A = this chain, B = another copy of it.
Amino acid sequence: MAKKKPLILVSNDDGITSRGIRTLVELMTQLGEVVVVAPNSPQSGMGHAITVANTLRLDPSIAFEGGPVGGITAYECSGTPADCVKLAKHHVLKDRKPDLVVSGINHGSNSSVSVLYSGTMSAAIEAAIEGLPAIGFSLCDYSHEADFSHTHEWVKKIANQVLQHGLPAGVALNVNIPAKAAGEIEGIKICRQANASWQEKFDTRKDPYGRRYFWMTGRFVNHDQGEDTDEWALAHHHVSIVPCVFDLTAHHALAALNAWGL
């Protein structure tokens, strides 16, 4: 008897018509049966937002019709990446449990602290909360026209490993891949999240009616000299993998707080 094909749920945050999810869907069809539930519009920077005070739409999508791969069930959703995973799990797939949830491939890095702002990673972390093995993939290239060709082997290798081994309970992988222009990739490194932050600057402008508005801009500042971080790996031509938890407890701080005698 032939082994059953694994069921793979695909989502993202750049929207269902982005080049990154097209790439990921094509790669995942080589590994299993693919179901897509992805946002119907770009949702970058949505973090772990969910739609609680508004309604949600979920409609069959033609985004992958006429493409190079067939047999894909696809839905587009008005909500956030986390909404997409919730709708996929509890409405679209119902009793069918995915063997793997993948999100991306994001146009732009989600390394270090950007994991918190990332809709791509929120889809993966939401899946981890639901007890599903999950990976968020990101390419360190923000361009709409980003070249994903060099990501194929790495994405398939990592997805295959997770299908084979599973993941520890409550863990999702944050995978970042250097841009094509950064040169040959030397390998994969398992990393911790670099301690970095965004130093924001707000570009102040006037609208056509004379009222002030802002654009958030900023630069990424890495405060972390460690050679075991995702930033270090990426800067040294490696794919970075950070295993991520959704338990935010600062276990190391419990004793100090208890000492306050509250």
Name A's B-contacting residues (CB within 8 A): 42, 44-53, 55-59, 80, 82-83, 86-87, 89-91, 113, 115-117, 122, 125, 129-130, 157-158, 161, 165, 167-168, 170-171, 173-174, 187-188, 190, 192-193, 195, 197, 199-202, 205, 211-216, 241-254, 256-258, 260, 262
Contact = CB atoms under 8 A, between A and B. Distances in A.
- The SS class assigned to the A binding surface is mixed
Contacts of A205: 55
Given A247-B193, A253-B171, A214 B91 contact: yes
Q: Quick one: copies of this chain in the complex? A: 2
A243 B250 contact: yes
A44 B55 contact: no
Contact of A214 (B57, B157, B257): B57
Contact of A47 (B50, B171, B200, B245): B50
Contact of A262 (B89, B158, B247): B158
A95 to B, nearest CB: 14
B45 A190 contact: no
